[in-house]
Structure 1
């Protein structure tokens, strides 16, 4: 793919950049809000995991982009397995 660079007046370039930023600003804000909620859920999950006697590293999950529901399922599964092994 070849990119063609147009020679436009600086004012037009600035206007185009501003229009593009405005067009994606809501999407960026929504994505940031969703990711902050995911991070908060993972931090809460780490506390819950500790109370269940299960190790869960929220920082690793945040860095890896793991969805909160997926992490929650893994923690609950580990807690159930731990309980089952204690019952034997």
Structure 2
């Protein structure tokens, strides 16, 4: 998860499904907030409690103003790069 101001939170999850996604969201995101994501089916559960906007990557869409997943994609790219460099050196 990453906020527009740049604060990010990551956690390991063992069950990747809508129930887990919903629980994590409820514990970390204010009800009624806007959530931007990709089209993964498990994220659909977020529409019950949040303003959920999504990008359909399967259709080749990556930005639908003002909806974009670029910020979280960049976070993961930097995070993974840090892990790889740590393991190499």
TM-score normalised by length of structure 1: 0.29
Greater fraction helix:
1
Larger radius of gyration: 1
TM-score normalised by length of structure 2: 0.28
